[in-house]
Each structure stands twice: as structure tokens, then as C-alpha cells.
Amino acid sequence: MNTNVLVLSTGTRNKVIQYFKRALTDENGSRIGKVIATDMSELAPAVYEADKFYKVPRMTEDGYIDVILDICKKENVTGVCSLIDPELSLLAEYSQEFENIGVTVIGSSYEICESCLDKWKMFCWLERHQYPCAKTYIDKEIFYRDLDMGKIQFPVFVKPVKGSASLSISKVYTRELLDALLDSSDSELMIQEYLQGQEIGVDCYIDMISKEVVSLFCKKKIVMRAGETDKAVSFKDEQLFQLVTKFAMEFGFCGQIDIDIFEADGTYYISEVNPRFGGGYPHAYECGANHMNLIVNNLNGIANKPSIGQYAEGIYMMKYNEVMIKNGE
């Protein structure tokens, strides 16, 4: 029986589709499953890499989840995942409905997806479980108290409590600007300590059957753009492997996650988690961390054996622009 994977909100993530297609091709070059893609736009280039494409409504529209369930039935889908943060919670919320038709949601639980989307919740969990993390405030008066006591100093980051892709983040140097930002915003904002150090990304896979961390890939970020990594280099550190493994297991993640970490003065600070494929995942794949194969194994009832750190280090990733041309007829 074929293994068919449905990838939602694919946008420009062409590589994810290509990698899934490779995972669904056997050693003789025969296809053992298909990749179906969705997006709300016909101008999302990644959909043209898939075996089949469905144009769907915006995920916030009534009846959206029914459309996705219908696609799953029609295409005999085995597993479904999304590449955008808000949709992760939606899939998790309806995981039982997917399970009822034989489809596995490739991802973490609803509670975990919501905790990752809410940066304040994530900070509180990290602090409560004694993981190093940047000082964070949602109460301006408590921040000013700590500022006056020398427990924190400017500059600081001001960012939405709920947000992604580094949108609406400001680096603030003065009380005046901080007050102006907090007073003028329509969304809930938080104040976060500015950590000066090396930004790190970790691509991690938690086996959906054994619930163990089976793969980790670490990269030092060199250049960032719009919240995604443009240039990076792979590296290995046993201390970081142990920290991320402990964290991922204790938090209860499942499937693919992308973790942002800062290294400052020899300490690793956990920052944020996206429980999905991050924009920099192709770096991991090309270095040998093939998480698509791990997913396909899980969808076929096979638990993966741990292979942490089994990838090439000192390998650079550099993103560049490409174009896709399509006839409009």
C-alpha cells in the first residue's frame, strides 16, 4: 500500500516537497507514494513540485478543515503536515477526525503547538523547568523595577507575544521608545532581554512511535532575513545535543521541530520553537539528516533508531534566488 503525504500551506518551500518525493521513491526509482500539496494561491511555486495540487480557502474560513479532510479521503492520504505556525494548532485540534479516516497528523499536540505560538507561555515553562533563557516581561512596571535594580539593561527586544517570521520585532534603546511601542500596539507585546552571542538553529526529529529524539542537526547562523536563515554552517556539540534532547523529551514534542538557541559566554539559551520544518531545514537534509525518511518510516509503523549527530559538520548553506515560470493559460 502506498504512503501518501499531504503538505499544507506550501508557499515557496519547494525543497520540502522535493525531499518528500525522494523519500517516496524506492531504490529502483519506482514511486511508493505521492506528495499532495495545498495553498490558497495558484502562484505558490512549491505546489508545482508536488504530484498533485489543491487550491484551498484561507485556513481561517469556515469549513476549511472539512476541505482538508475531503482531500485526505480522495487521495488516500497517510500523513498530513503544515509549514505555517497557525495551522499546526488547527491540525492538532482535529487530530482525532484525521485519525478516524486513517490519517496521521505529523506534529505535536494542540497544547504544545499553542505553547510554542505563545512566547510568554514558552518563557514561563523554560524558567519553571530551569532552562537558560532570555529574561522576559509582559508587565512594564516589573521590567522597569529590574532595570532600576540593574538586573537587565537596554537594549531590549519588544515583540508580539504571539507571532512568527520575526514580524513586528523592535530593538529598543530607551524608555521613551519602549513606552511609545507598548502604548500604541493593538496586540499584546512582551519585553525580552537582548542576548549578545551566536544564533543557533537546531532541526530535531522526535519519533512519532517511540517518542524519543532520534535525530538532531545543529547550525550556526551567519546571516538572517525575515526570520529565516540565509547563510549558516553545520557544527556538532555533545553538550548541545544533550540539552536539546532533554528539552524536547521533557516538553513532549512529537515529529519535526525547529529550535532557536543563543550561545553566550559558553551557555546555551533556548529561545523559541517552531513545531514544524523550519526554513533552514534543507541545510540539515543536505548534510545527511534525512527527516523525510524518518517520517515515512513512522507512517508505515516503523520506529526509527537514534542517529543523533550523524551528519557532516563544517558544511555551509547559502540560499539564493530562483524563479519559476508558468504559462497562465
Instruction: State pLDDT tens for residues 209-252.
Output: 999 999 999 999 999 887 788 999 999 999 999 999 999 999 99
Q: What pLDDT is stored for residue 224 in this prediction? A: 82
Q: What pLDDT is stored for residue 212 in this prediction? A: 98
Work out the mean pLDDT of the chain and round it to a whole number: 95
Percent over 90 (pLDDT), the chain: 92
Q: What pLDDT is stored for residue 48 in this prediction? A: 97
Q: What pLDDT is stored for residue 327 in this prediction? A: 87
Q: What pLDDT is stored for residue 165 in this prediction? A: 55
Fold assignment, 5-106: Rossmann fold (3.40.50)
Q: What pLDDT is stored for residue 163 in this prediction? A: 72
- What CATH number does the domain located at 135-193 have? 3.30.1490.20
Banded model confidence at residue 2, pLDDT cuts 50, 70, 90: very high
Q: What pLDDT is stored for residue 261 in this prediction? A: 98
pLDDT tens for 32-42 read 999 999 999 99
Average pLDDT of span 289-301: 98
Q: How many residues does the chain have?
A: 329
pLDDT at residue 168 is higher than 80:
no
Banded model confidence at residue 167, pLDDT cuts 50, 70, 90: low
Matching CATH number, 197-318, of 3.20.20.140, 3.40.50.1820, 2.60.120.260, 3.30.470.20: 3.30.470.20
User: What CA–CA distance (Å, rounded) separates 292 from 23?
Assistant: 6
Q: What pLDDT is stored for residue 128 in this prediction? A: 98
Q: What pLDDT is stored for residue 164 in this prediction? A: 65
pLDDT tens for 64-112 read 999 999 999 999 999 999 999 999 999 999 999 999 999 999 999 999 9
User: What CA–CA distance (Å, rounded) separates 89 from 71?
Assistant: 19
pTM of the model: 0.95
Domain boundaries, the chain: 5-106, 135-193, 197-318
User: What CA–CA distance (Å, rounded) separates 87 from 84?
Assistant: 6
Q: Can you read off the three cell numbers belonging to residue 154?
A: 537596554
Q: What pLDDT is stored for residue 19 in this prediction? A: 98
Q: What pLDDT is stored for residue 1 in this prediction? A: 76
**Distance of CA 177 to CAs 140, 158, 163, 257, 310, Å?**
13, 10, 21, 34, 46
Q: Starting at the earlier edge strand, list the strands of the sheet with 228-235.
A: 267-274, 255-264, 198-206, 213-225, 228-235, 316-318
User: What CA–CA distance (Å, rounded) separates 213 from 242?
Assistant: 10
Q: What pLDDT is stored for residue 269 in this prediction? A: 98
